[in-house]
Amino acid sequence: MTNVVRLFAAAAISAAGGVAVFAYPPAPPDDVMVIVIANGPHAGTYKPPTEEIICMDAKKQKQFAASYKDFDAKDPKAVSEGGINILNPDEPGPKQGHALVAFGDPGKKPQVQYSFSIFKDTTGQLTFTRSPKGADLSFQGKTPDGIAVRITAKCTDID
């Protein structure tokens, strides 16, 4: 959206015959999520559209989340939902929270879901790193059927 405003401003100045130089700070990079299913019927690497990834820091609720949802999902082999939710993100030590990947139309059954609850005593599955430019989240685990799932998210535009 910012780029559209810049284009209109440049066009208006050009049309007026004037010359102006604008110094805009660069727009932050888009949020990125990568979902990797290592094996099973949905094996593959999935990259949801960056403009549809939402990163949220709910300070009062002590949660940080990166999520994606395709409300119009129809393809049973496409990711319709994915995300990581971290509880008490600023608390030291192993992280706890939830991770989810779903395929297909959420209104139709059966919909394939890989859902994980991560508790403090489950070390290494969930990581969270905050930086001045945003936050990085990752999850790595296996379903009871042995399907390996990895989700990584880089958040730069945080609500």
The answer to whether the CB of 63 falls within 8 A of the CB of 124 is no
Give the pLDDT mean for 123-148: 91
| Predicted local distance difference test score (pLDDT) of residue 108 | 80
Q: What is the pLDDT of residues 26-52, one digit of tens each?
A: 555 688 999 999 999 999 999 999 999
Pick one of 3.40.50, 1.20.120, 2.40.128, 2.60.40 as the CATH number of 28-155. Answer: 2.40.128
* pTM attached to this predicted model: 0.79
Helices (H), 17-151: none
Total number of residues shown for the chain: 159
Residue-range domain boundaries for the chain: 28-155
How far is Cα 46 from Cα 36, in angstroms, rounded to an integer? 6
